[in-house]
Amino acid sequence: MEELRRQYNELNPGIYLYPCILKRETFFLDDDLGSVEAIFFYPNEYEYQEYEHNEFPIIYFIHGGGWCFGGEDVDHKLPRELCNKTKSIVVYPLYSLSPEAKYPIAVKQCYKILCRVEENAHKYRIDFNSLVVGGDSAGGNLAITTSLLCKMKNGPKIKKQILINPVTDTNLNTNSYLEFQEGFHLTKQQMAWFFNQYLENENQKNEIFVAPNKATIEQLANLPETLFLVGEFDVLKDEGLEFCEKLKKANVKVNSIVFPGAIHDFIMYKFLNNTNCCKEGTATIIGFIC
């Protein structure tokens, strides 16, 4: 696993095109959840004297990597850009990775950290009325589960939700899985492996916090306005579009966009930063937030 994580980091080295201020916070959660760090990306204006009494919008962004990889410098490109261009504080939880930490540890950690940030919003100078929750791939899955938990537990209140090629199901036999199962970056075999690392048993594949597509319309009702982005050549495309349709049936406002010719996580990788899809996708996210 250490070698796989090293290879993942080399695939997508950190990018520093977007200046911002990074600080780390450690959150001591319940005994079974341990202590978890979160990175806070602050816009440079945060330390300007003329802004010292200002509150800033918040984006709670959860990284992908199949619940097994990522979180450090490797995945900071988009959080930095969102912080820099929207003048928001981006909170980035470093949830415990699998297989060392199995489901539902990451789900509970992501929700608990968000609650702790809300409790201390004044300390961080955060305007929590602006809360946007988002994530990519497995992080998109955790963003959905965070939204579901916020609804079930009556808070925190999320204004908008950003889903970048999220994992929404455990069915590996959709048309997009069969058509793009290998040769388009994320493969069917890799997704099967990720689920094996993340889950304790097969029965968990039917739980809505693993496969949100299995949620009822009633369970999805009143989720936040959602922006959904996915590449044309992504094994997760069909399940994501199915999830969007369920959200619409639940009367959730959804804008779903399929980017022609794009692969999985086309917005996240440094080597795709200058592609039209990456630029347009990022601009769409920023416009949605602002």
Sheet with 89-93, side-by-side order of all strands: 21-28, 35-42, 89-93, 56-62, 126-136, 160-164, 225-233, 254-263
Q: 6-22 burial, b for 16+ CB within 10 Å, e for fewer?
A: eebbeebeebeebebee
Q: Is 99 helix (H, G, I), strand (E, B) or coil?
A: coil
Q: Is 80 helix (H, G, I), strand (E, B) or coil?
A: helix
282-to-89, 162, 269, 286 alpha-carbon distances in Å: 17, 11, 12, 6
**Concatenated DSSP letters of 112-155:** HHHHHHHHTHHHHTEEEEEEEEEEETHHHHHHHHHHHHHHHTT-
The residue type of 130 is: S
Residue 178 neighbours by CB distance under 10 Å:
12
Active site residues: 137, 234, 264
Q: State how far the Cα of 165 lies from the Cα of 237, in Å rounded to an integer.
A: 7
Q: State how far the Cα of 21 lies from the Cα of 116, in Å rounded to an integer.
A: 21
Residue 174 neighbours by CB distance under 10 Å:
18
Residue 132 neighbours by CB distance under 10 Å:
25
Nearest to residue 102, comparing CAs of 177, 209, 236, 227? 209
